[in-house]
Structure 1
Amino acid sequence: MKTPFRSEDRAPAAPGRFRTVWRAAHEPVPGVSRRTRVLAYAVPFTVLPAGLWRLPAAFDAGIGIGERAYVVFLSLFSEAVAFTAIGLVARWGEVVPAWVPVLRGRRIPPAAVLVPAALGSTALTLLWTVLALTAQVMGTTIRGDALPSDVPSESGGWEAAVFYVCYAPLVLWGPLLGVLTVAYGRRRVGGGRRGTAGP
C-alpha cells in the first residue's frame, strides 16, 4: 500500500534555495565592521540606477540588434562588477567557493584580490569621480569636446533630472571600492584584531 504524499516530503522550494545562496553571497567574515558591510552592500546600488536608466534604450525602435545587446550587456556587466565589492567583506573573497571546480575551498592570496580591487578603484575614481564630474561642471565631454545637443543632460526638464539622479551615484563607486580595498588589506595583511576594525 502506497504511503500518502506528505507536504514535508517535497523538495525545498526555490525561495529557500535562493535565500541560502543570497546569505552565502552576503554573509560577512568575522572581523568586518557593520559600517564596512554597509559600504560594501551600497556599491551595487551606486551602479543600479544608471543600468536601469539605460535599459529602455534597448527597446528603442531606432537601434539595431547589436546595439540592443550591447546596452543590456553593459547594464548587466556593470552590476556584476559592482557586486564583486561584496567579496571584500564576504567569505567568497577569502576562500574559493565550493561550486568552483578544482580550486574549491582554497584560500585566496590577498594580492589576488587587492591588486585588481586597487586598480579598479583607481580607474573608477578617475573615470566617474574626476573626469565625468569635471566634464559635467565644464559642460564638455570627457575628452574635452563640446557636448552634443542630444545628450540627456542637455535636454533639460525631467529628462535631465532623471539622468542626473541615475548617474550621480556613480561618483561614489570608485571611492567606496577604495575604502573597502583598504579595509580588506588591513584585515588580511595587517593581521589579527588590529586590522579588523575597518573604516
Structure 2
Amino acid sequence: MTAPLTETRTLSRPPRWAVFAAHAVPLVTLPSGIWRLFLAAGVDLGLRPYHAIGFGEATYIVGLSVVSEALALLTLGLVRPWGERVPRWIPVLGGRRVAPYAAIVPAAAGALALAVIWGYAFRGFPDFGTVTFAGPGWHVLLVACYLPLLLWAPLLAAVTWAYWRRRRAAGQV
C-alpha cells in the first residue's frame, strides 16, 4: 500500500532565509566552475606563464567543476522534500524517510571541510605567489570568480543548522 501524498510533508516549511541560502550555494560555486571550464578548454585567461592544458589535466579540471557543482546542488535537499523522504523513483530506497543524521552529518562535515579547505587555499589571497597575469583585469576576473567560494561553508552550515532545527522540532532527531 502506498502512503498518501500528505505523509511526504512531515515537517514545517524551512525558513525563507534557509531556502534563499540553499539556492545561493550553487550560485557561489558557479563562477569558479565556469572559470575552470574556460581554462580546461584552452582559453588563456591572462595567466603568465601560460602553458597548454593536456587532456588528463583538462579532464581533472572539468571533473572538479562538475563534482563541485553537484555537491553544491545537494544543499537544496536540506530545504526540499527529497531531503526528508527519498523520492519514489529511486530503486529500493524510494519513499523511505531520510534519517536526519544521514543528511546532517555529511552536510556539517562538508561545511567544516570547506571552511578548512578555503581557509587554507585563500590564506594569501589575493596574492597568487609565482602566478602572474597579463594585466590587472585578468587578476580581478580570477578574484571575482573565486571570492564567492568563501560563502559556501557558512551558507551550508546555516542551512544545515536550519534543517537540524526543523527535524528536531518534528521530534525526528
Q: TM-score range by the shorter chain?
A: 0.7 to 0.9
Q: Distance in 1 between matches of 2:26 and 2:13?
A: 22
- Within-5 A mapping of 1:113-124: 113-124=103-114
TM-score by length of 2: 0.81
Q: Which amino acid aligns with 1:88?
A: L
Q: Aligned with 1:168: secondary structure?
A: helix
Residue 135 (str. 1) matches residue 124 (str. 2): yes
Does structure 1 conserve the Cα–Cα contact (< 8 Å) formed by 2:86 and 2:97? yes
Residue 125 (str. 1) matches residue 127 (str. 2): no
Tell which structure's C-alpha radius of gyration is larger: 1
| Aligned counterpart, 2:27 | 45
Unaligned stretches of 5+ in structure 1? 1-28, 141-146, 193-199
Q: Which amino acid aligns with 1:173?
A: W
Q: Distance in 2 between matches of 1:136 and 1:114?
A: 31
Which segment drifts farther, 177-186 or 56-65? Answer: 56-65
Residue 187 (str. 1) matches residue 166 (str. 2): yes
- 1:156: Cα distance to partner? 4.6
Unaligned stretches of 5+ in structure 2? 1-10, 43-50
Q: Which amino acid aligns with 1:179?
A: A
| Aligned counterpart, 2:139 | 160
TM-score by length of 1: 0.71
Q: Aligned with 2:56: secondary structure?
A: helix
Q: Percent identity over the alignment? A: 44
| Aligned counterpart, 1:171 | 150
Stretches of 4+ aligned residues off by more than 3 angstroms: none
Q: 2:38 aligns with which of 56, 61, 76?
A: 56
Output the aligned Cα RMSD.
1.9
- 1:149: Cα distance to partner? 3.1
Q: Aligned with 1:135: secondary structure?
A: coil
Q: Aligned with 1:134: secondary structure?
A: coil
Q: Distance in 1 between matches of 2:120 and 2:168?
A: 32
